[in-house]
Amino acid sequence: MFSSKLPFTANKKMKNRALIVSVENFYPGTGLGKRKGAKKDTQRLHKILSKLGFSVVIRMDIEADEIYEAFKAESKKTVKDCFVGVISSHGEEGVVFGADGCAVKLAEVYSYFGGLSMADKSKLFLIQACRGSQLDGGVEVETDSSFSEEEDGMSELFSIPIDTAVMYATSPGYGAFMHPAGSELVQTFCNLLEEEGGPDLEITRLLTRVNYQVAYNFEARGKLFGGKKQMPCFVTRFTREVFPFMDRKIAAVEDLSLSFAATQLIDESRRSRKSSIS
């Protein structure tokens, strides 16, 4: 498999970009409660992604149309190697909700990033939202609307562009937990990026570790949800190995070292080669 550790562009001033859309507070009358902890997730993501060299834009408590507009605008901008999009809100399978309670179809958001401006760039989406009403153990909780899960789910998958991965907080049909200290998905993702060697992981390995840690280390507490689990999942359409968070200086040194070693081998081969008559 093709491995790409270095930036695709030679423009040193161009940065990777991230857009974080987080809805913590909803308009009265929407029937959607406050999501305590969403701001904690946003603050930590901003800190870590900025440290890793991303230019980060944050949009808090915006309406559905504004969510569409924000991602559409980002999709038309050029990035160095990678774009990271984060959406944190209430949701169901195939949709998340704006502060106005209106649905945002994830399929449409993903489809924006299939254009020329994002061609050959790596795209990663983190979706911190419920995808249904079930919890591990078969407990049913109240939902906010009644979209067709099967129809929206298939449309969503087909809309994911090439060289894109989407990480969901939970499996299709299930709810995702939010804690005042932050969501399990986002906090685990951030923990891994702060660990030594974490940013150097290939993206599918990084997301697999997120799956493992949330699935095996998290368990809800309390009388209502005590003992319930959460299982994230991701979909990838990458055609190569991608290292979106790797330290570019380290990667450049590694590449120069490999080039130097290859040059030595070629020179030695030339020196040791004897002339022959054919």
| pLDDT at residue number 13 | 76
- pLDDT class for 269, splitting at 50, 70, 90? very low
DSSP 134-193: EETTTEE---S----HHHHHHHHHHTPPTTEEEEESS-TTB---EETTEEHHHHHHHHHH
Catalytic hit among 46, 102, 130, 233: 130
Q: Please give the residue that has the higher pLDDT: either 67 or 220.
A: 67
Separation CA 154–CA 168 (nearest Å): 15
The SS3 assignment for 16 reads: strand
Catalytic hit among 90, 102, 179, 190: 90
| pLDDT value at 259 more than 50 | no
| pLDDT at residue number 131 | 86
Angle between helices 184-194 and 38-51 (to 10 degrees): 20
Worst-scoring range by mean pLDDT, 61-65, 140-144, 157-161? Answer: 140-144
Q: Quick check: is 46 catalytic?
A: no
| pLDDT value at 220 more than 70 | no
Beta strands across the sheet bearing 122-128: 54-60, 16-22, 82-88, 122-128, 164-168, 233-236
Average pLDDT over residues 51-77: 97
pTM of the model: 0.79
Average pLDDT over residues 135-154: 45
Worst-scoring range by mean pLDDT, 32-36, 40-44, 221-225, 261-265? Answer: 261-265
| pLDDT at residue number 136 | 53
- pLDDT class for 133, splitting at 50, 70, 90? low
| pLDDT at residue number 228 | 60
Q: Which is nearest to 16 in space by CA: 90, 58, 74, 65?
A: 74
Average pLDDT over residues 7-27: 82
H-run or E-run covering 245? none
